[in-house]
Chains A and B, each alone.
Chain A
Amino acid sequence: MLSSLLLTGLLTTGCHASVVALPLSAPRLQNLLQAFVAGGQGRSFRVLGEERDFDHGHVLLEARTKSPFAILYHTQELADETPDGYLDAEGRNWIQWLDGRGIENARRYERADYPRTADWDWFVAQELPRLRRRHTITDKMLDPLLLGSELAGSVQCTFTRVDCGAAAPERIGVVLPDRTIICLSLDAS
């Protein structure tokens, strides 16, 4: 209850300072991130709000309606460069459905093959090996048939840890399983 009150006090709405508008409101994003953190802290990531481990998700947009239907989170972003070499190759990419289906490993939605255009051929030849070396699945690597939706692209939302006492124009708060409250500033790109 206390946490909820504190979070309500911390919350501001929208991502208006961003050049790109976020297709989800800040309260919605806060709730979604809170659900992800509750199950993922210590398992799929360790440090929330810092780019060395977990500071962003991609809001996936459906092609026909251009409306958001899921978030693709990338965790353990630079975890293989930490002194303890912490990296779970199978735990880096997560899909959180916005229709209440919960959170799943994105690996099960990965494409088996790719379209044949010059841009896709370039992606497969030049980008895919780099992404695979870091066990990354991007939105381009998700299979529309498995997702059940054609993608119109995605909007990246970055949540950066900030001091809860400091003024920040766009801010949400998330409670870690140990009851620590983390304040995060939002930015979309």
Chain B
Amino acid sequence: MKIPRARLVAALFGILLAAGACLSPVKTSPQDDSAQAAAYRRRLAATVTDNWPPISALAARRLMEQYGPPDEVRPGYLVWNDNGPWRRTVVRDITPPYAQADDLGVVEQTIEYPLMPGQIVELAAFDQRLGYNAVGWRLSARSDSEEINFLRLNLANDILNKRMTAAQARELYEKTRQLAASGKTSPYMLSLRFVPW
């Protein structure tokens, strides 16, 4: 009988939680976060992501290298809160639907950005990988890397500030990615070019 990978990861996660005794897979508060608790979450995250598909696992390792141990470790995702310019970063266990998937959207990064209903429609016309949660004004971008999330959100900000239309932003997105592959770096892929709310 073949056991689904997700169930195996969940079972392994349960065993590791039990072994961790009083340590939590979730950071309770920045003040109370001990070195021991952070090291536990790092070990837990490393064990969990070892069983993820390569792109998810690699993205998770890369984020841990950049931002340290996650604030929350779950069998299917890791979370960082208030890391770098982001309110929240989530990396997920996503199985590629086909071998050469170009962008699975394993990394979701969120900023605070209040939007009117009409603006949400404008952004949806630009890119379906942008999401908005009106509770807390959370605007998110999903891709496989932080660089592409920067690009999506910078273009979204340009649309919202009437510097370009959704169609122009789509065109610039494609061109920027082509030029990046040709060696030209865009400032839009290096950082947020605006200060979030």
Task: Give a binary string over B60-86; 1 marks a CB under 8 Å from any A CB, 0 the rest.
Answer: 011011100000000000000000000
Given A126-B144, A126-B145: A77 touches B62 (CB 8 Å cut-off)? no
A77 CA to B185 CA, complexed, in Å = 12
B144 to chain A minimum Cβ distance, whole angstroms, is: 7
- Given the known inter-chain contacts A122-B58, A122-B59, please indicate yes or no for A77 contacting B65, CB distance below 8 A: no
With known contacts A119-B65, A119-B66, A134–B59 Cβ distance under 8 A: no
Does B119 interact with chain A (Cβ within 8 Å)?
no
Q: In the complex the two chains form, what is the Cα distance from A119 to B58 in whole Å? A: 8
In chain B, what residue has the closest Cβ to A187? Answer: B187
Select one of A74, A117, A133, A158 contacting B65, CB under 8 A: A117
CA distance A156 to B185 in the complex (A): 7
Are A138 and B65 interface neighbours, CB within 8 A? no
Give the residues in chain B near A118, CB-CB below 8 Å.
58, 61-62, 64-65
CB proximity of A94 to chain B, nearest CB, Å: 11
* Candidates B66, B183, B186, B187; contact of A77 at CB < 8 Å: B183
Is B23 an interface residue when CB atoms closer than 8 A count as contact? no
> Count of B residues near A, CB < 8 Å?
22
In this complex, what residue of A is CB-closest to B65?
Answer: A118
Determine how close the nearest CB of chain B comes to the CB of A143; give it in whole angstroms.
17
Alpha-carbon gap, A51 to B183, bound state (A): 11
Complexed CA–CA distance, A114 and B174 (Å):
28
User: With the chains together, A119 CA to B66 CA distance in Å?
Assistant: 8
With an 8 A cutoff between CB atoms, is A28 at the interface? no
A77-B64 CB under 8 A given contacts A121-B58, A122-B145: no
The reply on B178 being an interface residue by CB < 8 A is yes
How far in angstroms is the closest Cβ of chain A from B69? 13
**A121 x B183 contact (CB < 8 A):** no
User: In this assembly, does A47 line the interface, its C-beta being within 8 Å of a C-beta of chain B?
Assistant: no
B182 contacts A136, CB within 8 Å?
yes
Chain A interface, DSSP helix/strand/loop, else mixed: mixed
The winner among B54, B62, B65, B184 for most chain A CB atoms within 10 A is B184
| Among candidates A77, A117, A126, residue contacting B182 with C-beta atoms closer than 8 Å | A77
Given A117-B65, A126-B144, does the pair A133, B181 have CB atoms closer than 8 Å? yes
Q: Is A89 an interface residue, CB under 8 A from the partner?
A: no
A185 CB-CB contact with B under 8 Å: no
Whole-angstrom distance between the Cβ of B179 and the nearest chain A Cβ:
6
User: Restricting to B12-61, which residues have a CB under 8 Å from any CB of A?
Assistant: 54-55, 58-59, 61
Alpha-carbon separation in the docked complex, A158 to B179 (Å): 13
Complex CA distance for A67 and B101, rounded to whole angstroms: 40
Q: Cα distance A24–B65 when bound, in Å?
A: 33
* Neighbour of B181 across the interface among A117, A122, A136, CB < 8 A: A136
Residues of chain B lying within 8 A (CB to CB) of residue A137? 183
A137 to B183, CA, bound (A): 7
Are A51's CB and B62's CB within 8 A? no
Judge if A145 is at the interface, Cβ distance under 8 Å.
no
The residues of B that contact A56 with a CB separation of less than 8 Å are: 183-184
Q: Cβ of B61 and Cβ of A121 under 8 Å apart?
A: yes
Give the nearest-CB partner of B147 in chain A. A127
Judge whether A74 and B183 touch: CB under 8 Å.
yes
Whether B54 lies near A125 (C-beta < 8 A) is yes
Chain A residue at minimum C-beta to C-beta distance from B183: A74
Assembled-state Cα–Cα distance A118/B145 (Å): 13
Given A118-B58, A122-B62, 8 additional A-B pairs, CB 8 A: A74-B182, A77-B182, A78-B178, A92-B183, A93-B183, A122-B58, A133-B181, A189-B190
User: Which 10 pairs across A and B sit closest by C-beta, in order of nearness?
Assistant: A74-B183, A118-B61, A118-B65, A77-B182, A118-B62, A136-B183, A130-B181, A134-B181, A122-B62, A189-B187
